[in-house]
Structure 1
Amino acid sequence: MLEQTLAEVRARVAILEAALDPAHAQFTGRPTWVGPTARRFAEDLSARRVRLRQAAQTLVSTLEEEIHSVPPKVPPSTARR
Structure 2
Amino acid sequence: MGAPSCGSRVETRLAFPPAADLKAEAEPPYPEAALQPGKAGAEAERAWWSEVLIWGRMHHDRVARICAWARDLKMPVEPGQCGD
TM-score, normalised relative to structure 1: 0.57
Note the aligned Cα RMSD (angstroms).
2.3
Deviations 1:10-58 (A, max 9, x none): 632034x41xx37x02xx1x61x23111010011111111110000100
Q: Which amino acid aligns with 1:52?
A: M
Q: Which amino acid aligns with 2:43?
A: T
Q: Which has the higher helix share?
A: 1
Matched with 2:71 is: 65
Unaligned stretches of 5+ residues in structure 2: 1-12, 35-40, 76-84
Q: Percent identity?
A: 11
Higher RCO structure, 1 or 2 (CA under 8 Å, sep 6+): 1
Matched with 2:38 is: none
Which has the larger Rg?
A: 2
Mapped to 1, the partners of 2:67 and 2:18 lie a distance apart of 10
Alignment of 1:2-81 (within 5 A): 2=14, 5-6=15-16, 9=17, 11-15=19-23, 17-18=24-25, 21=26, 24-25=28-29, 28=30, 31=32, 33-34=33-34, 35-68=41-74
Unaligned stretches of 5+ residues in structure 1: 70-81
SS of match in other structure, 1:68: coil
Q: Which amino acid aligns with 1:47?
A: L
